[in-house]
A = this chain, B = another copy of it.
Amino acid sequence: MAARQRRTTIAEVAAHAGVSPATVSRVMNGRFVGEESVAERVRASAQTLDYSPSPLARGLALGTTRTVAFVVPDLANPAFQAVLSSLSKSAARSGYRVLVADSVETPSDELAIATEIRRRCDAIVLCAPRMPDAQLAEAIENLAPIVLINRPGTGHGAAMLSIDYHAGVHQLAEHLYALGHRRLVYVAGPTTSASDGYRRRGLKAFLAGHEDVTLETLPGGVSVDDGRAVAEAVRGSGATAALAFNDLVAIGLIHGLGELGVSVPGDVSVTGFDDIPYARYNSPALTTASVPHEELGVQAWDRMDTLVGGGEPGHSVLFQPRLEVRASTAPPR
């Protein structure tokens, strides 16, 4: 490897141009008010020496890094990837970069990870579904400016962008009900996950309005493999339709059922949640609740931007999922 670069410093440029570092700084930042010839000389020196200010030193002096953190449970999840991709693009337009981290290997460290990464930047977009409400409320103060994702109702002066899981799962259940299904099974997510809680409550509300429906809940997970693993239990449940925690689980479940010779939607209907890009290309195409992940990223940046500028968090928003009926659901046999 080539010897590590030693970048030219502002002092060198100053010496080269025969001015003080202060002047170079002013010229570089457009705050220079003196003679144009001096500015020109500084610019020429900077050019010649291939100078560009150290973001680190600037950050220290200015107290701002032009970087924001993005922390989610699992970067491998396409839903979060969609948010990240759009957040990164939005931030880039304002000259900000995004620092990423996930807590998949150590769920209990959500707070520690967020705290650590937050110190490296100006603000944080956090999705911490497993952090207890009380702990989160306390953490918000230290993490601010912060945009919280998927924690509807947690309040406490943070900007909040969430998905109405309750409504989404309700819609899915209504859809299945309308098709004629009366025995449902819910393939749950992580039991400690807040968003799983909202789904459960949504289903409970649905059940309250439909006395003729029975619902069984099966422990599931968040990944394709989790879905595949629960296929046998779903078949054993005798249900005619399964609501999966998310699209990944649904896809895994469908293929797991396929391996057991159970056809979808012939024998069992299956629904997902998220509408990841591949939901529509799955075989059969997945009926799901569509979540506007890109919009979430864009809005997250907007909030972030106003917060960093010293603005208020603004109102919480609860994105309404849109029922996306595809081929994985059909009337029961």
- Chain A contacts to B: CB under 8 angstroms: 1-2, 4-5, 7, 52, 54-57, 59-60, 65, 67, 74-76, 78, 81-82, 84-85, 88-89, 92, 97-102, 104-105, 117, 119-120, 141-142, 144-145, 157, 224, 251, 255, 277-278, 281-285, 307, 310-313
Contacts and interface: CB of A to CB of B under 8 A. Distances in A.
A157 B2 contact: yes
A74 B82 CA distance: 11
Given A99-B99, A120-B56, A81 B75 contact: yes
Nearest to A313: B1
Contact of A57 (B60, B75, B76): B60
Across the A-B interface, the 7 shortest Cβ-Cβ residue pairs: A283-B283, A278-B278, A75-B85, A76-B85, A81-B81, A55-B120, A56-B60
Contacts of A283: 281-285
B88 A101 contact: yes
B78 A78 contact: yes
A84 B75 contact: yes
A56 B55 CA distance: 10
A99 B67 contact: yes
A54 B119 contact: yes
Contacts of A97: 99-101, 117, 120
Given A60-B60, A98-B101, A99-B100, 7 more contacts: A1-B145, A1-B313, A4-B144, A4-B145, A5-B141, A251-B281, A278-B278
